[in-house]
A and B are shown apart, each in its own frame.
Chain A
Amino acid sequence: MTKEPKPNDTLLLEMRQIDKSFPGVHALKNVSMKLNRGEVLGLVGENGAGKSTLIKVLGGAHPPDAGKILIEGRLAHIPSPTAAQQAGVSIIYQEFNLIPDLTVTENIFLGREKTRMGLVRASEEHQKTLQLFKKIGISINPNARCNELTVAQQQTAEIAKALSVNAKIIVMDEPTATLTTQETERLFAIVRDLKSHGLGIIYISHRLDEIFEVADRAMVLRDGEHVGTEDTNNITREKLIEMMVGRPVESEFPKRTASPGLERLRVEDLCRGKAVRNVSFSAQAGEVLGFAGLVGAGRTETMRLIFGADRPDKGRIFIDGKQTNIRSPCDAIRNRICLLTEDRKGQGLVLIHSCRENFGLPNLDRFIRGLFLDQRKERKEFSGFVESLKIKTSSHEQLTMNLSGGNQQKVVLAKWLARNADIMIFDEPTRGIDVGTKYEIYLLMNRLADEGKTIIMISSELPEILGLSDRIIVMHEGRVKGEITDVANTTQEDILSMAIA
Chain B
Amino acid sequence: MTSILSVAGLAKRFGGVKAVDDLTFEVAPRTVHAIIGPNGAGKTTLLNLLTGIYRPDAGRVTLAGRDVTGLPTHRWAAAGLGRTFQNLQIFFNMSALDNVMVGRHLRERCELLPSLLRTPALARTERACRTAAREMMHRVGLDAWLDARADSMPYGALKRLEIARALALEPQVLLLDEPAAGLNQTEAREIDALIRELAAGGTTVLLVEHNMRLVMEVSHRVLVLDRGAKLAEGTPAEVARDERVIEAYLGVAEAEATEAADA
Is chain B a partner of chain A in the same complex? no
